[in-house]
Structure 1
Amino acid sequence: MRVRQHLLSIFFAVIFLVALALQSIAGLLVTNEERSTHDQPQLTWLDFVTSSDFVVDVSENWQSEYLQFFLFILATIWLVQKGSPESKQPGEEGVGSDKESLVGRYAVDGSPTWARAGGWKLWFYSNSLLITMGAIFLLSWFVQALSGLNFFNEEQAMHGEPPIVLAEYLTNPDFWNRTLQNWQSEFLAVGSMVALSIVLRQRGSSESKPVGTPHEITSVEN
């Protein structure tokens, strides 16, 4: 029964690992095919997954995903969308009161310890989800920049061109092409979810309003 209560997390963890493994295999095949055309030795799987080629592809997707969540969490504090289950009710913008957040003297049995605290502990815990998403975004973006630089310089060397430093790479079109092609897709996906959920339904999903709910109703407690 306890496993059943966590199946949503387990499901996404499993398909993430499967997709990552398949990406590494497909990427290795593509890379070795390209290396063959340049008369270069073949890479092993371990060589490939620790290479800049693989790391930059993974990290550029991770940073865009966590940027998406960071911005969505931040935006839904202050912005509303009438009719969307992804939004608070119009007029409820802002961080809310201590009573609504069940913090401080309004904490209930089972409330986290830092929800009962005051000062910086309460502030930090009150913003811990946003802080964590932002930190993972920045870290993965930094990894993307470093691995992208190494991969870019490897290609430069193959073509007899001099390497560049990180500061130069951060202003290079290659870096921003990798970055923006992911950002635009994440922003489109989030915006589509917010807008389409106003008029479309999925019975049984917590991400949808009940099927018969009028379109103009914003957030609904199922």
Structure 2
Amino acid sequence: MSGRAAGTRPTERGSIRGFLKDNGLGLFFTLAFLLTVVGQAFAGQADFNNQMAADQLQSVGFLAYVTSSDFAVDVAENWQSEYLQFFLYIAVTVWLLQRGSPESKEPGKSGTESDKDQMVGEHAVKTSPKWAAASGWRRTVYANSLLLVMGTIFLLSWLVQSITGVAAYNEQRLRQLQAPMSWADYLGAADFWNRTLQNWQSELLAVASMAVLSIYLRQRGSPESKPVGAAHDATGVEG
């Protein structure tokens, strides 16, 4: 045995390598998100300046563009549709089933399930979160916390989209010597609903495709897929 005291060697779990390994999924998508936002900023600035040139107006710098309502509304409309997707997916999968899909609970298990199955109240274990063992409103809030947060982010980002959207829309109207529109009127305008619905339909189609295609198709090793050899009608089974 070396002179180094036992237990002083850093374990992989407590090291940087261990941190990266344990959080690889979240870190990958966070980095990918940041890269796409930067890419969108540069591409959006170029496209915006092309429009300004077509209108024989002065182009804007990068900082001016990323702090503009045009950039903000493009970002917000994507965020609200993504969080709507997850909000609906979390909510409807409590009650609705899709036989054969790993994205669905097994037939006969729709609903919020029993306290025993969910390990809440008297059925909580030592490792359960404190609010899972609590009673009253705390348990109710925690039992629905994921849906509440997703729904809140969706509503806030949709609100931001509407506010930045009317600002961007009015800037365009002023360049065309048209009168600006109020926020209330913008909520019923074609521009607002065109931005909204074109994002909603793509998100809903993606979820429907994933739920149905995963019945028959496989990806070995992915928790979003059934085991390669699982039957097509096997439901709620992850690979």
Asked if Structure 1 and Structure 2 have the same fold, meaning a TM-score greater than 0.5 normalized by the shorter chain, the answer is yes
Shift of 1:42: 2.3
User: Could you tell me which residue of structure 2 aligns to residue 114 of structure 1?
Assistant: 131
The whole-number CA distance in structure 1 between the counterparts of 2:238 and 2:57 is: 60
The whole-number CA distance in structure 1 between the counterparts of 2:216 and 2:208 is: 14
Q: Secondary structure at the match of 1:3?
A: helix
Q: Which runs of 5+ in 1 are unaligned?
A: none
Aligned length: 222
Shift of 1:32: 1.5
Please tell me whether residue 210 in structure 1 is matched to residue 227 in structure 2. yes
CA contact (8 A) 2:87 2:150 kept: yes
Q: Which amino acid aligns with 1:96?
A: E
The two structures, once aligned, show a CA RMSD in angstroms of 0.9
Aligned equivalent of 1:179, options 196, 200, 206: 196
40-49 or 150-159: which moved more? 40-49
Q: Secondary structure at the match of 2:23?
A: helix
The whole-number CA distance in structure 1 between the counterparts of 2:235 and 2:93 is: 13
Please tell me whether residue 164 in structure 1 is matched to residue 185 in structure 2. no
Q: Which runs of 5+ in 2 are unaligned?
A: 1-17
Q: Which amino acid aligns with 2:212?
A: A
Please tell me whether residue 29 in structure 1 is matched to residue 46 in structure 2. yes
User: Could you tell me which residue of structure 1 aligns to residue 31 of structure 2?
Assistant: 14
User: Could you tell me which residue of structure 1 aligns to residue 213 of structure 2?
Assistant: 196
CA contact (8 A) 2:225 2:238 kept: no
Decide whether aligned partners of structure 1 residues 203 and 221 sit closer, same or farther in structure 2, where only a CA change above 3 A counts: closer
For residues 94-105 of structure 1, the aligned pairs below 5 Å read 94-105=111-122
Structure whose alpha-carbon radius of gyration is higher:
2
**CA offset digits 1:52-103 (Å, max 9, x no partner):** 1111111001000000000000000000000000000111010001111111
Q: Which amino acid aligns with 1:200?
A: L
User: Could you tell me which residue of structure 1 aligns to residue 61 of structure 2?
Assistant: 44
User: Could you tell me which residue of structure 2 aligns to residue 140 of structure 1?
Assistant: 157
The whole-number CA distance in structure 1 between the counterparts of 2:47 and 2:234 is: 49
TM-score of the two chains, using structure 1 as the length reference: 0.98
The whole-number CA distance in structure 1 between the counterparts of 2:61 and 2:32 is: 24
Q: Secondary structure at the match of 1:2?
A: helix
